[in-house]
Amino acid sequence: MAASRSLPSLFPIALSRDNTILGQLATYEMSSVSSSILNPRSSILQVTLRITEIFFSLQGETSRVGLPTMFVRLTGCPLRCGYCDTAYAFHGGRTMTLADILSEVARLEPRYVTVTGGEPLAQENCLALLRELCDRGYSVSLETSGALDVAQVDPRVSKILDIKTPGSGEGDKNLWNNLACLTPRDEIKFVLCDEADYEWAKQVLAERHLESLCPVLLSPSYHDLPAKTLAEWILRDRLPVRMQTQLQKQLWGETPGH
C-alpha cells in the first residue's frame, strides 16, 4: 500500500485490499483555476466601464433620426470642442460591469442602441461592449469624435464619425486614417459653426471623395449657425450630403437624458 501514498493528491484513487483500482482517475480539482479560463465569456461580462447615463429616447441625428433608441453614454473625453453639449459627461459617472450595462439595456427591449459619450472609445472596454451588444441582436451605432482609432470596432456596428472642423477648436485632432475603416453602413458628420467651417467641410468633401465612402451629414452648431442658413448653402452648392438638425433639442432643449 505504500505505493498508493506516493500518488499525487490531485488524483485520488480508491484501492481495494488486493490493490484493485476501483475508480477512474478523478477530475482535476478546479476550484483554484481562474474563472476566466473556465468561462471566458463570463469573465468578459465582469469588465467595467464608467457610465454617465443610460436612457431611452428618440434618436435625434443620423439616418436613424426619430427611431426609439437606447443610449449608453460613456464618461470621459480627451477633446474639448467649443460647442460641446455633453460636458457633463467629461467627469463623474458610475462604474458598471458589462453584465449590468447589458441588463439595463435589455430592460426596455429596444431594437436600436447607440453608444455615445463623451468619447466612448477613450475607454478600452467600449470595444467589448459594442461586440456584446451586437451578439445580442441589437442594431448598434457608435458616435465617435474621429480622433481615436476605429479599426478594432466590431464590423457590425454603424460608426458615426465626427470630423472636427476648425471652428470646433479641435480640428487638429482628426485621425484621417479612420476614413479607410469606413463602409457604406457608416456615416460621416460635420458640425459647422460658421461659413468658414462650411467652406472647409466642402473642400474636405471634394478632396477626399467622402460621399463615395458613406453618407455625409452636415449639421449646424446649435448656438452658432442658423439651420435655415446652412440649408440655403447646401442647396446653392448642390452638395451630395444630408442636412440634419438635432431633433432631441427641438423637443427637449439641452436637458440631459435625451
The 3-class SS string of 165-234 reads: CHHHCCHHHCCHHHHHHCCCCCEEEEEECCHHHHHHHHHHHHHCCHHHCCCEEEEECCCCCCHHHHHHHH
On whether the pTM is more than 0.75, the answer is yes
β-strands 158-163, 187-192 pairing: parallel
Digit-coded pLDDT (tens) for 86-100: 999 999 999 999 999
Q: What mean pLDDT, rounded, does the chain reach?
A: 88
Q: What is the pLDDT of residue 37?
A: 52
Digit-coded pLDDT (tens) for 233-243: 999 999 999 99
3-state secondary structure of 123: coil
Closest CA to 133 of 160, 152, 154, 119: 154
CATH class of the structural domain 45-252: alpha beta
Closest CA to 59 of 112, 105, 104: 112
Digit-coded pLDDT (tens) for 197-224: 999 999 999 999 999 999 999 999 999 9
Digit-coded pLDDT (tens) for 28-52: 344 434 444 556 677 899 999 999 9
Q: For the chain, list the strands marked E by DSSP.
A: 48-58, 68-74, 94-97, 112-116, 139-144, 158-163, 187-192, 216-220, 242-243
Lowest mean pLDDT among 15-29, 71-85, 218-232: 15-29
What is the grid cell recorded at 32?
483554484
∠ CA 86-201-186, rounded to 5°: 65
Q: For residue 201, count other CB atoms closer than 10 A to its CB.
A: 23
Helix, strand, coil fractions of the chain, as percent rounded to 5: 30, 20, 45
Asked if the model's pLDDT at residue 140 lies above 70, the reply is yes
Average pLDDT of the segment spanning 111-117:
98
Q: How many CA atoms lie within 13 A of 222 on its CB side?
A: 14
Q: What is the pLDDT of residue 231?
A: 98
